[in-house]
Structure 1
Amino acid sequence: MRKTLVTWIGQHDLDGALKLEHHGPIYSALSAFDFDEVVLLCNYSSQQGKNYVKWLESKLSDQISLILTQVTLVSPVDFSSIYIAANECLSELAQSKCELSILLSPGTPAMQAVWVLLGKTKYPAQFIQSSKEKGAELVQIPFDIAAEYTPLANVLSSTKLTQLSESFPNQSPAFSEIVTQNPLMERLKQQAQILAKHDVPVLIQGETGTGKELFARAIHNASNRADQPFVAVNCGAFPLNLIDSILFGHKKGAFTGASADRQGYFQQANGGTLFLDEFGELEPSVQVRLLRVLQEGVITPVGAIKEENVNVRIITATHRNLMQAIHDGRFREDLFYRVAVGVLSLPPLRERQGDITLLADALLVDMAKQDIALRGKEISVNAKNIILSQLWPGNIRELRSTLLRASLWSSEDAISADDIKQALFDRPQNNTGLLDKDISQGIDIQNIISDLVRHYIPKALAHSNGSKSKAAELLGLKNYQTLTNWMDKYDVK
C-alpha cells in the first residue's frame, strides 16, 4: 500500500530552505520516515510554494513524489476554510486507499486542530510531529472523537467556534442546565433570557421530551419573579368536573367533599410563574375560563362571593400545532394570541447537530449523582456512534432512559455499542401511512414523498459521518449535488 504524508507548508519550512542547520519540520519528517508521496497544502503565494518544492526535490530521492496543492484561505486561523481545504484533500486521498500520515507541526494551531479532528474521525491516520529538539516522531492522540463533530465544523466560522468554546459566558446561570453547543439552541437560550427580563406570557412549542419545562424553569429563575413560586401543571390531566376547583380553588362546603378551603393553582403561583404544560389539550370550555383570568387578572374560587386578584406570569407549552387547531375550530384564537407573546420553538433532538453525544455525557453524569453505582461510567466512541445513528423520536427523555438501561446492564466502566443496542427498543415498521392509504379518499403524494425524504436522508448522513457523497450513494442518487437539491426542496435540516 502506498505510504502518503500530508501537511501544510509552514513558515518554518520556507525559512528552513534558506538555512544550513534546521531545514524545517517537513524535511525533518521525510528524513526520519519513508514515504512514497507527499501532499503539500500551500496557503502562501504560488511562487513560494513552487520554490519550496523545487528545493525539497533537490534534497530527496527521486522515488518520493511531491504534490503541491495551492489553497486560498480566508485567513490561516479561519476554521471553516481550513476544514474545507483539508477535508477535500483527505477525501481524495481516501479514495486511493493509501496508508495515511499527517504531519501536525507546520501551520497554525487552527490547522493542527482540524487535522486532529479529521484524522481521528473521517480519515483514520497516524500523526507525526517535528521539533528542533527531538526531531520527527510519531505522536499518539490520547482520545477518540465521535463522528458527529466533523459535519458541524464545516459550517461554523472561527468566531462561532470561539463562542462555543467559551460557552457563552454572558448568559444567565439560570440557563446552565440547558446543555448545548448547537447554534440554534444557543440562539434560543439567548432569546429565552431576553423574554425572562420582560414580564410577558411565553409559549414554548416542541415535541414531547425536547426540554420545554426546563426552558420554562430557566425563564422563571432568570426573571424578577425568581424568589416567588414556580407551579407546573399538566393540562392534560384536568378532570372537567373539578377544573374550576383545581385552577381557582374552593371554599369549605362549596360541594360534597370540600371539607376545607383549598387554594387553586393560580393562587399557589400568585406573584410567581404558572407553567401550563400540554396547553393544547385544554377543552374549549376550559379555554373560556382561562381567557377571562388572563384578561382581567381576577379569579373566583368555587363557593366564594368575592373575586380575588392574582398576579401570575403564564408560561405555556405544547407539542401540538395550535394554528392548525385554531383552523380546525379546536382552539380559541383569542386565547392563543393572549399566551403567544413570546414564542420559542424547540427543535427535536435529531435536528440538534453537535448536541446528541454532548447530552448523553451530561445525562450520564447527572444519573451518576443520583446512583452511586453509576459513578465512573462513560460512553465508548463506538457506543456514541450507535447513539448518533438513531432518530430518537422520544427525544431527550428517550435518550436518558436508554442510557440508564445500558449503564445498569454494562459490566464495564465504558458503555459499549452492544450495551446501547441491547437498551434500544425495536420499533415496528409501520407502512400504513405510506403504502396502505385509501386512494378513494384522496391522498397527498407530495407529503408522502416528503416524509420519506426527511426520514432517510438524515439516517444516510449519520451513517456516512456527514459525507454527502457517501450519503447520496447510499440513497441511490447521482451525486452529492442531487442530495443537496433534495435537502433544499424538502427542507431537510
Structure 2
Amino acid sequence: MSNAKLHTLVSWIGGNDLKAIVTDAKDKGLGPIASTLKAEKFDAVELLYNYPKEQVTPYLAWLKQEIDIPIRAYPIELSSPVNFGEIYLQANQHLSRITLEDKELSVLLSPGTPAMQAVWILLGKTRYPCTFYQSSLEQGVQQVVIPFELSAEYMPAAKSLGNSRINQLLEANVPINAAFDNIITRNPRMKLLKAQAQKLAEFDVPVLIYGETGTGKELFARAIHNASHRANKPFVPVNCGAIPVELVDSVLFGHKKGAFTGALADKSGLFEQAHGGTLFLDEFGELQPSVQVRLLRVLQEGTFIPVGGTSEQKVDVRIITATHRNLIEAVANGIFREDLFYRVAVGVLHLPPLREREGDLSLLTDSLISSLTMSDSILKHKKIYPDAKNIILQHPWRGNVRELQSTLLRAALWCQGETITAEDIRQALFEMPEKNKDLMDVNISQGIDIQNIISDLVARYIRKALEHSGQNKTRAAQLLGLNNYQTLNNWIEKYGIKS
C-alpha cells in the first residue's frame, strides 16, 4: 500500500468560477478552479465559499461533471469578504485540518478578494508550507513562486486582537461627547464650517448638513448638540434610509397597543425619546413624500399623534438633518417637498469631501493612527512611514474619512513589525473601478492614458447611437454630428469598435 500523501488543492470559490456555468459566458472560460484542476493533477479539491448556497450548488454540480476527483465545499460566514480577521481565522482552521490529515497541500490564489489572497500567502509562507498556483485567461495555469520569506514567529495583530475587538475598532462610532475639538482640520474651509456650526449651536434652529458619505455629518451634529443648551438632554440619531416605509410612522411617532399586527404594547417613537433634546435624521433625503407630509406637521406645530392613537402629544425637539443628496434639485424635480426643505434648511452646512480638504489628509492620518494606538495595546507601537503617507496623499478617498480610517486599520493589523509601509497601504487600499459617468473626472495623480479614455468615450457613444438608430449608420452619424455614414465607418475602424 502506497504511503504517498494525497495532493489536495484548496481555494475560495470566486465570481469568475460561478460565471463559468452561465450559458452566454463561453468566452470567459472554465474559471480559475476548473482550469487549474484540468491543467494539473490533484487527488482532491477543497473549496471555501461565502456566496449564497443557491448560487454555489449549481456550480458544484457542474464542476463534479467536469472533474473526476473528490470535491468538498464548505460555506463560510463572513461579515465582509474583506474582513482580514474573519478570513484569517477561517482559512487557518481549514488548512490546519487538512495538514492534520497528512495531505500534500496546494493553494490556488486567483479566486477571491485581495484580502483572501493575502491571507493565503501569509499562511502558506509561515504555518502551512504549500505550493501556490494562479490561473488566468491570458496566461493560463501557472505555479507561483513567492520570492520572499516571512518569519514563522510573525502573527498578525488580527489574530491577537480577536474578531469582536477588530469589529469594534472598525466601527469607531462618533463619541457621545463629541465636541468641535474632535473635528480635526487645518483647512480654511473646514475651519469656517466649524465656526458656523458653533454659532448655530447657540440658536435653537433646525440645521441641514450636506456631504458625501464619510465626511463627518454625525460628528458635526453631535458637536452642535453638545455645544447647545440641550447638551444634557437626549441626542437621538436615526438613519432614515434604513427604516422600512411601512414602519416609518411607528418608528418616528410611536404606536399604541393593538394599532397593527404585532403591536403588543405601547411604544414611544423617536420624537418622544428625543423630547427636550436633539433628533438627528441622517439620510433625510431618503424619506418618501407621504412621510414628508406628516413630518412637516410635527415641525410646524410641535405635535404628533402616535399610530393607533387619538390624541395629540406635544414635543420639544431640535431637528438636525443630514443628506448626501442635492435636495434643491430634488425639490425642483418634485421629489422633495419645498415647504419641508425650507423648514429644515435654516442653518445649512455643506461639508467638503476629503479630497477637497487641502492640508488635512496628513493631519487626519496622524490623528487616526494615534487613535488606533491608544485604542488597543497590541497596536500601541504602530507608526507610519513617510513613503506610506505619499501613497495616502495620492488616493482619491471616495469614502472620505471613513475609508481612510478603515484602510489604516487594515494596514495596522497586517503590517509586519511596528511600521506601516507604502506596500502595507497599497495592499490595504481598494481601487474602485471608474464609473462610466466619471470619464471626465478620472484621477490623474498616478498618470492616465488619454488615448484609452478618448477611445472609451468614442466607443460608448457610437454604440449608443447605433442602438438608438436600430443599427442604421446614416441615422447614427446624424445623431453623433458626423457628416455621413462613411465618416462613422472611419471612426469605427480607427477605434476598433465592434458591434
Partner of 1:357: 362
Alignment of 1:413 onto 2:418: yes
Q: Distance in 2 between matches of 1:375 and 1:306?
A: 56
Alignment of 1:237 onto 2:238: no
Q: Distance in 1 between matches of 2:342 and 2:390?
A: 43
Q: Distance in 2 between matches of 1:299 and 1:434?
A: 44
Q: Distance in 2 between matches of 1:194 and 1:434?
A: 37
Name the CA shift for 1:381/1:316 in 2 (closer, same or farther; >3 Å): same
Partner of 1:203: 208
1:218 to 213, 216, 223: 223
Partner of 2:437: 433
Q: Distance in 2 between matches of 1:429 and 1:323?
A: 27
1:358 maps to amino acid: L
Structure 1 residue 357 displacement after superposition: 1.3
Show the 5 A alignment for 1:68-147: none
Give percent identity, aligned residues only. 65
Structure 1 residue 281 displacement after superposition: 0.7
Partner of 1:30: none
Q: Distance in 2 between matches of 1:210 and 1:434?
A: 20
Structure 1 residue 217 displacement after superposition: 0.2
2:328 maps to amino acid: M
Show the 5 A alignment for 1:66-465: 174-430=179-435, 432-433=436-437, 448=440, 451=441, 455-456=443-444, 459=445
1:452-479: CA deviation from partner (whole Å, max 9, x where unpaired): 5xx43xx37xx9xxxxxxxxxxxxxxxx
1:70-94: CA deviation from partner (whole Å, max 9, x where unpaired): xxxxxxxxxxxxxxxxxxxxxxxxx
1:403-455: CA deviation from partner (whole Å, max 9, x where unpaired): 0110011112121111001101132244x3367xxxxxxxxxxxx4xx35xx4
Q: Distance in 2 between matches of 1:173 and 1:190?
A: 15
Q: Which ranges of 4 or more aligned residues in structure 1 deviate by more than 4 Å?
A: none
| SS of match in other structure, 2:349 | strand
Partner of 1:152: none
1:372-400: CA deviation from partner (whole Å, max 9, x where unpaired): 21112111111111100011000001001
Structure 1 residue 173 displacement after superposition: 8.3
Q: Distance in 2 between matches of 1:396 and 1:179?
A: 11
Partner of 1:479: none
Name the CA shift for 1:434/1:303 in 2 (closer, same or farther; >3 Å): closer
1:180-232: CA deviation from partner (whole Å, max 9, x where unpaired): 11111111101000000000000000100000000000000000000000000
Structure 1 residue 305 displacement after superposition: 1.3
Q: Which runs of 5+ in 1 are unaligned?
A: 1-171, 436-447, 464-493
1:205 maps to amino acid: Y
Partner of 1:49: none
Between 414-423 and 361-370, report the one with greater CA deviation: 361-370
TM-score (norm. length: structure 2): 0.53
Structure 1 residue 174 displacement after superposition: 2.0
Q: Distance in 2 between matches of 1:429 and 1:352?
A: 22
1:220-262: CA deviation from partner (whole Å, max 9, x where unpaired): 0000000000000000012121111111001112222111110
Between 172-181 and 358-367, report the one with greater CA deviation: 172-181
| SS of match in other structure, 1:233 | strand
| SS of match in other structure, 1:426 | coil
Q: Distance in 2 between matches of 1:434 and 1:176?
A: 35
Q: Is the 8 A contact 2:178 2:222 kept in 1?
A: no
Q: Distance in 2 between matches of 1:173 and 1:434?
A: 35
Q: Distance in 1 between matches of 2:371 and 2:292?
A: 38
| SS of match in other structure, 1:176 | helix
Q: Distance in 1 between matches of 2:434 and 2:188?
A: 33
Name the CA shift for 1:409/1:233 in 2 (closer, same or farther; >3 Å): same
Structure 1 residue 286 displacement after superposition: 0.7
Name the CA shift for 1:434/1:250 in 2 (closer, same or farther; >3 Å): closer
Structure 1 residue 284 displacement after superposition: 0.6
Q: Distance in 2 between matches of 1:394 and 1:277?
A: 17
Q: Distance in 2 between matches of 1:173 and 1:314?
A: 18
Q: Which runs of 5+ in 2 are unaligned?
A: 1-176, 448-499
Q: CA RMSD in A?
A: 1.7
Q: Distance in 2 between matches of 1:284 and 1:232?
A: 21
Q: Distance in 2 between matches of 1:318 and 1:434?
A: 22
